[in-house]
Amino acid sequence: MDNIILEMRNITKTFPGVKALQDVNLDVRAGEIHAVVGENGAGKSTLMKVLSGVYPHGSYEGAIRFLGKECRFSGIHDSERVGIVIIHQELALVPLLSIAENIFLGNEQSHYGVIDWNLARRRAGELLRKVGLKEDPDTLITNIGVGKQQLVEIAKALAKKVKLLILDEPTASLSERDSDALLSLLVEFREQGIASILISHKLNEVGKVADRITVLRDGRTIETLEKADISEARIISSMVGRSLDDRFPPRHPKIGEVVFEVNDWVVHHPVHPDRVAIRNVNVNVRRGEVVGIAGLMGSGRTEFAMSVFGRAWGTGISGKVSLHGKPIDVSTVGRAVKHGIAYATEDRKTYGLNLIDHIKHNVTAANLKGVSSAGIIDDMRELNVANDYRKQTNIRSSSVYQVTGNLSGGNQQKVVLSKWLFANPEVLILDEPTRGIDVGAKYEIYTIINRLAEQGKSILMISSEMPELLGVCDRIYVMNEGRIVGELPAAEASQEKIMRMIVRGDDKPDEEEEHKVRTAS
């Protein structure tokens, strides 16, 4: 193996309670495009954060050698100085500054602290030509599209004399044309001797440009494939190859009639109202059924759920929501709750809990009417309710007076669930109900879900963890880019099938379909 510029050896990174990376090895040759693939949570982003110094030397085990030298980065600044530049999934550009100002942010073209604007503009112009972006360096970032912003990020990296460029899901929010332009740029850089690490879910584009692919799974390196060995099937089986053991409680589904139905659901993006975020989604859930929505992050699952739940996300919403075959009005959260719909958020700290208040007040927050009469809260009834749910969902705390901000993630999730259980919904939408919680708490959450289904509730569950969907659901919808790209009974589903639907469903809708969506909205 000659010409290796980057060597990461036996990288192990532990977070409290979780081993995010375990003995991961990665090497990158000079002038190659090296793809890193894996499921959500496989450890790709963590590995890149170790490499770029976001997690400083000493917070992980293992060694990094770059250009033959041992590296001990204490921050992003150190890694950038040696020529390793990372471009994150969420772009780090300041929207109200110009392109030139952004390119040289933190790296200003200055003499003794005074910025030389002419030099900055000229150099920005050169860099923009290199990345093939025809924009005035004085244009504000907010006035250019996401694809162009991505190019500005790359220009910014070039300004730092990059030798190894790391791109974290660079094409996730780009159209196909912009993606192609970006990928050909990487190929161009390869010829100039700049190596890239490309993190992507889109296996077709990885196959197109990558020289080698490293597959991560559960925080370990599974294998590194040479160009000749790259095939979609091989990558997929490598990515998901793990068995379903008894991590899931047994289920005895008793599925009845269709209870909840969403038809022709179209939602536009709240910030860019001309962008269709959810396209003609049709979903139904039966009595006692647990229905999963699979998909990658950013596929529109949360946006779909929140738009159904009282239009909490999006604008220009059209479509029909029915309960027991009758259309219902879910135009506000209050109305949705009144009709028996609940949505337990994926982000419990931001959207789920009042972290400075205790369990008791959080449990009753969505159904204060249930513990009050004529607007006056019955303290004892509230205390009984809170204690009851604390027992039911097995919240581990000193009492119901413990502040929710001090609970562990799993127990916080149980408080969120309790809150919605007390609202007594017929349809429960659970968004990533087990994100960031340990295996034991996950099992408890699954048990609660099973119990609810047995009680005849209809459950719609969004999850990025495919084994979880396979283990808990009766039926699975697959979503990508705001559309349902497949539906299959859990019994027939496999991770490979789902993954294939996601990666194949990447193609943009053809002209005709696009037209239909437009007229429908």
Partner 1 sequence: MSTETARSALNPERETAQAAIKQNLREYGLVLALVAIMLFFQWQTGGVLFKPVNLTNLVLQNSYIIIMALGMLLVIVGGHIDLSVGSVSGFVGAVAAVLMVQYKLDPVLTTLICIVVGGLIGASQGYWIAYMKIPSFIVTLAGMLVFKGLALWLLGGRSVGPFPPEFQLLSAGFIPDVIGPMTIGDVTLHSTTLLIGVLIVAAMFYLALRSRRARESHGYTAERFGLFVAKNAIIAAMVLFLIYMMASYKGLPNVLIVMGVLIVLFVFVTKRMTIGRRIYAMGGNVKAAALSGIKTERLTFLVFINMGMLAALAGLIFAARLNTATPKAGLGFELDVIAAVFIGGASMAGGVGQVAGAVIGAFIMGVMNNGMSIMGVNIDWQQVIKGLVLLGAVVFDVYNKNKA
- 315's tokens: 């604008």
CB 486 within 8 A of CB 230: no
By CB under 8 A, the residues from 305 to 324 that bind partner 1 are: 309-310, 312
The stretch among 75-83, 222-230, 315-323, 365-373 that binds partner 1 (CB under 8 A) is 365-373
What Cα–Cα distance (Å) separates residue 499 from each residue in 203, 331, 485?
Answer: 10, 34, 11
Tally helices (H) and strands (E) across the chain. Answer: 17, 24
Check if the beta carbon of residue 444 is closer than 8 Å to that of residue 392: no
* 505 lines the binding site for partner 1 (CB under 8 A): no
Residue 239 burial (C-beta neighbours within 10 Å; 0-12, 13-18, 19+): buried
Distant-in-sequence, close-in-space partners of 288: CB < 8 Å, separation ≥ 6: 253, 254, 255, 256, 453, 454, 456, 457, 458
User: Cα dist. 405→362, 392, 442 in Å?
Assistant: 11, 20, 19
Closest CA relative to residue 485, chosen from 500, 468, 470, 471: 500
CB neighbours of residue 232 within 10 Å: 15
| Residue 425 makes contact with partner 1 by CB under 8 A | no
Q: Taking the complex as a whole, how short is the minimal distance between the CB of residue 310 and partner 1, in angstroms?
A: 8
Q: How far is the CB of 376 from partner 1 (least distance, A)?
A: 6
Nearer residue to partner 1 within complex by CB, 247 or 396: 396
Give the nearer residue to partner 1 in terms of CB position, either 48 or 328: 328
Determine if 355 is a binding residue for partner 1 (CB under 8 A): yes
Cα angle value 39/45/46 (rounded, 5°): 110
Q: Which of 224, 282, 372, 447 binds partner 1 (CB under 8 A)?
A: 372
Applying CB under 8 A, the span of 58-66, 273-281, 314-322, 370-378 interacting with partner 1 comes to 370-378
Q: Is 379 in the site for partner 1 (CB under 8 A)?
A: yes
Task: Return the closest-CA partner of residue 461 out of 277, 251, 471.
Answer: 471
Residue whose CB is less far from partner 1, 141 or 353:
353
Q: Measured between alpha carbons, how far is 232 from 499 in angstroms, rounded to an integer?
A: 10
Q: Which is nearer to partner 1, 192 or 350 (CB)?
A: 350
Which CB, 229 or 357, lies closer to partner 1? Answer: 357
Q: Which of these, 135, 141, 131, lies nearest to 101 by C-alpha position?
A: 141
Min CB(393)–partner 1 separation in Å: 17
Q: Which stretch binds partner 1 (CB under 8 A): 50-58, 279-287, 360-368, 478-486?
A: 360-368
The distance of closest approach from Cβ of residue 413 to partner 1 in the complex, given in angstroms and rounded to an integer, is 14
354 binds partner 1 (CB under 8 A): yes
For partner 1, give the closer residue by CB, 271 or 380.
380
Q: Which of 136, 357, 438, 513 binds partner 1 (CB under 8 A)?
A: 357
Enumerate residues 385-424 that contact partner 1 by CB under 8 A: 396, 398-399, 401, 419
Q: Is 345 in the site for partner 1 (CB under 8 A)?
A: yes
* DSSP type of residue 285: E
Q: Are strands 61-66 and 69-70 parallel, antiparallel or unpaired?
A: antiparallel
365 binds partner 1 (CB under 8 A): yes
Cα separation, 28 vs 411, in Å, equals: 42
Nearer to partner 1, 357 or 513 (CB): 357
CA distance 203 to 284: 30
As a whole number of angstroms, the distance between CA 512 and CA 290 comes to 34
Contacting residue, 337, 453, 461, 478, with partner 1 by CB under 8 A: 337
d(CA 203, CA 502): 10
Q: What is the dihedral of CA 73, 76, 77, 78, to 10 degrees?
A: 20
Asked if 184 interacts with partner 1 (CB under 8 A), we say: no
Q: What minimum distance in Å lies between the beta carbon of 216 and partner 1?
A: 32
> Which CB, 98 or 397, lies closer to partner 1?
397
Q: Could you say which of 137, 147, 352, 410 contacts partner 1 (CB under 8 A)?
A: 352
Residue 356 touches partner 1, criterion: CB under 8 A: yes
Q: Decide: is 13 part of the binding site for partner 1 (CB under 8 A).
A: no
Give me the least distance between CB of 370 and partner 1, in Å please. Answer: 10
Q: Which is nearer to partner 1, 32 or 444 (CB)?
A: 444
Nearest distance from C-beta of residue 400 to partner 1, angstroms: 11
Query: Which amino acid makes up residue 369?
Result: K
Output 255 or 403, the one with its CB closest to partner 1: 403
Q: Is residue 97 near partner 1 by the rule CB under 8 A?
A: no
DSSP, res 218? T
Decide whether 178 or 432 has the Cβ nearer to partner 1.
Answer: 432
Residue from 145, 334, 513, 518 that binds partner 1 (CB under 8 A)?
334
Q: Residue 328 or 499: which CB sits closer to partner 1? A: 328
If one asks whether residue 440 binds partner 1 (CB under 8 A), the answer comes out as: no
What single DSSP character describes residue 450?
Answer: H
Transcribe 40-106 into DSSP letters.
TTSSHHHHHHHHHTSS-TTSSEEEEEETTEE---SSHHHHHHHTEEEE-SS----TTSBHHHHHTTT
Site size for partner 1 (CB under 8 A): 37
Instruction: Supply the minimum distance, in Å, between the C-beta of residue 414 and partner 1.
Output: 16
Which residues form the interface with partner 1 (CB under 8 A)? 309-310, 312, 332-334, 336-338, 343, 345, 350-357, 361, 365-366, 368-369, 372, 375-377, 379-380, 383-384, 396, 398-399, 401, 419
